């Protein structure tokens, strides 16, 4: 029991746990759409394109979160616009914006004398989350949850049948832009906790595990949130006791959860398919 | 089969600002006059100067080879594409004014059947046009959905994920959604694609029942050698132009 409770007696670990759980909730809720609308590449791209915003903020002494948020939202709008207006395939548009912005971030950061902050951005540092950051993470998670709840039926319909949605007066492109902006906000908060390289994992893995358990969107979201919260908790514990980076520990726990669910499902399916002995 | 007409209040926040409108008295279900329409970014229109009419309670077919413009015409009627010139009237009104009376049933390939929604939920999406923004489906909507599922023999499949249905069942589910919507004009894009002969016969029988219930159906298809044997009215398209409109004796 001590093994479980001892780490969270420390104030910075309590803040880290709250941050990891909130980020896990936000990522898993929007991650359900990321998985089922096949937007994993966009999620990864949004994480990488925040780098120039973070770099500019760092060099000019502004909050890194503000820099990342501005860069993320600008990228979301740019990707949506480029794919719609320029007759490009969306993955091509993402590829151009993603690599261009990341390269710009690397160039800007090369002007900095230290690489310590770059490591934090790339790999995350949940232990460095301040109470102010926690407020921002909580706010973003609340906004994501409320918008997804209020627009649930419209986002669901445009995800699987955009023709019917358009016929009844909805605009699937605008709803997709809403999703992209929510996704970019979520990604920005996740970068602080698990770093921009591993952010996609928290978007995709809990939602993918949940999609193996249930075939209803409304149930997939709470199940994915459950997987994410458990991954955050167990990951932080492993990180504390094994002295490994917290972001990597959280992601490895989530991946382990996916493997366990997948294996259990295969086992159940085999049992169902196996011929029953004749008595 | 009897198909109930659902009375409903105007949604307070309708999608796209579209308000419900009553049809013009004695107007045809569908009137297409000199319709020219194309896809965004395309240099030439997919359909040019197409004209035809479909009276209420008619089972009509748009026939022609692939690329003839059948789907394009249906999409213009469903206001998915904006006509370059010409006119479309649904029950005497422009398509956007009468949108809740029109249901577009896309080709099965246009729907993501792997998405995690059940048959019940798919049919429930037919009620969204009556709800608008920020309103959740109520008990009344679920009652309508379950009555419609029952009517189309889909009750036992209500909790199945939509990808677990056969092609014929998927088509029935889309028809159920159109009925739950309370649509009077059903636009069906290639509903017979990849269906076996038995399922196709069942579907034709279902369309006949809907016609008898005063629904109007316009079916885009290239699956019949003699469509005149099945449909009340046949409009033949070729290379984006209407070259023959036939009313079988």
Residue A279 placed within a domain: no
Give me the pLDDT at residue B2, please. Answer: 43
Residue range B25-246, CATH number: 3.40.50.300
Nearest-Cα distance to chain A for B176, in Å, is 14
Residue in A194, A71, A50, A237 with CA at minimum distance from that of residue A205:
A194
Contact state of B116 with A211 under an 8 Å Cβ cutoff: yes
Would strands B241-246 and B216-221 be described as parallel, antiparallel, or unpaired? unpaired
> Do A64 and A116 contact (CB within 8 A), yes or no?
no
In a domain, A278, yes or no: no
Domain count, chain A: 1
* A233: phi then psi, degrees, rounded to nearest 5: -65, -55
Q: Please give the model's pTM, rounded to 2 decimal places.
A: 0.90
Indicate yes or no: CB of B17 within 8 angstroms of CB of A153: no
Query: Does residue A71 lie within any of the structural domains?
Result: yes
A230-252 confidence digits (pLDDT tens): 999 999 999 999 999 888 999 99
Instruction: Tell me the C-alpha distance between A106 and A102, whole Å.
Output: 6
| Distance separating alpha carbons of residues A259 and A266, to the nearest angstrom | 11
Phi–psi pair at B246, nearest 5 degrees: -120, 140
Residues of A in contact with B75 (CB under 8 A): 163
Contact with chain B for residue A36, Cβ under 8 A: yes
Give the DSSP H or E segment for B219. Answer: strand B216-221
Please write the tens of the pLDDT for every residue from A153-206: 999 999 999 999 999 999 998 999 899 889 989 988 888 788 878 888 999 999
Give B6's strand partners: none
Inter-chain residue contact B41 with A87, CB threshold 8 Å: yes
Q: Per the domain annotation, does A2 fall within a domain?
A: no
- B chain contacts of residue A87, beta-carbon cutoff 8 Å: 41
**Among B99, B104, B125, whose Cβ lies nearest the Cβ of A169?**
B99
| Beta-carbon separation of B103 and A167 below 8 A | yes
A128 in any annotated domain: yes
Task: Return the percentage of chain B with pLDDT > 70, whole number.
Answer: 93
Domain ranges of chain B: 25-246
B-chain CB neighbours of A167 within 8 Å are 78-80, 99, 102-104
Q: How far does the CA of residue A272 sit from the closest CA of chain B (Å)?
A: 17
Two tokens, residue A25: 């909730």
Taking residues B153-174, report their average pLDDT.
95
What's the rounded Cα separation, in Å, for the pair A178 and A184?
A: 10
Relative orientation angle of helices A11-36 and A246-273, to the nearest 10 degrees: 50
CA dihedral A44, A47, A48, A53 (to 10 degrees): 160
Q: What does the pLDDT profile of chain A (279 residues) look like in tens digits?
A: 788 888 889 898 999 999 999 999 999 999 999 999 988 888 888 888 888 888 888 788 787 778 888 888 888 888 777 766 656 677 887 888 888 888 988 888 887 766 656 677 778 888 888 888 899 899 999 999 999 999 999 999 999 999 999 999 999 989 998 998 899 899 888 887 888 788 889 999 999 999 999 988 989 999 999 999 999 999 999 999 999 988 899 999 999 999 999 999 999 988 888 776 665
Whether A217 maps to a domain, the answer reads yes
CATH number of the domain at A128, please. Answer: 1.10.3470.10
By 3-state DSSP, what share of chain A in percent is helix, strand and coil, each rounded to 5?
A: 85, 0, 15
Q: Is B55 exposed, middle or buried (0-12, 13-18, 19+ CB in 10 A)?
A: middle
Is A37 part of any domain?
yes
- Confidence band, pLDDT 50/70/90 cuts, at residue B3: very low
Q: What residue numbers bound the domain in which A70 lies?
A: 12-273
Looking only at the bridges linking them, the beta strands covering B102-105 and B47-54 are unpaired
């Amino acid at each position: 029991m001590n093994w479980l409770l001892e780490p969270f007696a420390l104030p910075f670990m309590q803040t880290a746990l709250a941050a990891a759980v909130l980020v896990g909730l936000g990522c898993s809720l929007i991650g359900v759409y990321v998985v089922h609308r096949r937007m994993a590449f966009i999620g990864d791209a949004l994480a990488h394109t925040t780098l120039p915003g973070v770099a500019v903020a760092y060099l000019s002494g502004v909050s890194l979160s503000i820099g990342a948020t501005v860069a993320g939202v600008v990228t979301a709008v740019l990707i949506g616009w480029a794919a719609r207006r320029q007759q490009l395939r969306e993955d091509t548009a993402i590829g151009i914006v993603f690599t261009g912005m990341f390269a710009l971030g690397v160039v800007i950061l090369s002007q900095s004398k230290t690489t310590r902050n770059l490591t934090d951005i790339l790999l995350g540092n949940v232990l460095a989350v301040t109470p102010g950051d926690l407020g921002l993470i909580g706010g973003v998670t609340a906004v994501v949850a409320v918008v997804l709840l209020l627009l649930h039926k419209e986002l669901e319909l445009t995800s699987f049948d955009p023709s019917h949605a358009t016929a009844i007066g909805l605009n699937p492109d605008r709803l997709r832009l809403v999703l992209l902006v929510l996704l970019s906000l979520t990604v920005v908060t996740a970068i602080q906790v698990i770093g921009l390289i591993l952010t996609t994992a928290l978007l995709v893995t809990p939602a993918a595990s949940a999609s193996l358990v249930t075939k209803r969107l409304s149930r997939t979201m709470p199940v994915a949130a459950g997987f994410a919260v458990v991954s955050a908790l167990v990951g932080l514990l492993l990180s504390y006791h094994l002295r490994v980076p917290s972001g990597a520990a959280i992601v490895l726990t989530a991946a382990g959860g996916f493997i366990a669910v997948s294996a259990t499902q295969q086992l159940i399916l085999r049992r169902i398919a196996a011929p029953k002995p004749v008595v | 089969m009897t198909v109930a007409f659902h009375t409903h209040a105007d949604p307070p926040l309708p999608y796209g600002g579209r308000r419900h409108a009553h049809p013009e008295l004695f107007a045809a279900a569908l009137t297409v006059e000199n319709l020219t329409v194309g896809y965004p970014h395309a240099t030439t229109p997919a359909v040019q100067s197409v004209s035809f009419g479909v009276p209420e309670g008619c089972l009509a077919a748009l026939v022609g080879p692939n690329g003839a413009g059948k789907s394009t015409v249906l999409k213009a009627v469903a206001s998915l594409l904006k006509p370059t010139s010409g006119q479309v009237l649904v029950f005497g009104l422009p398509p956007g004014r009468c949108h809740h009376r029109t249901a577009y049933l896309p080709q099965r390939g246009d729907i993501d059947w792997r998405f995690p929604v059940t048959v019940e939920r798919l049919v429930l999406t037919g009620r969204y046009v009556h709800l608008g923004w920020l309103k959740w489906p109520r008990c009344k909507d679920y009652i309508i959905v379950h009555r419609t599922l029952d009517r189309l023999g889909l009750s036992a499949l209500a909790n199945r994920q939509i990808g677990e249905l056969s092609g014929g069942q998927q088509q029935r589910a889309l028809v159920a959604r159109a009925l739950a919507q309370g649509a009077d004009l059903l636009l069906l894009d290639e509903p017979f694609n990849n269906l076996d002969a038995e399922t196709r016969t069942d579907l034709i029988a279902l369309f006949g029942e809907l016609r008898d219930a005063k629904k109007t159906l316009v079916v885009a298809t290239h699956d019949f050698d003699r469509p005149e044997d099945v449909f009340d009215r046949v409009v033949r398209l070729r290379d984006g132009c209407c070259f023959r409109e036939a009313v079988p004796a």
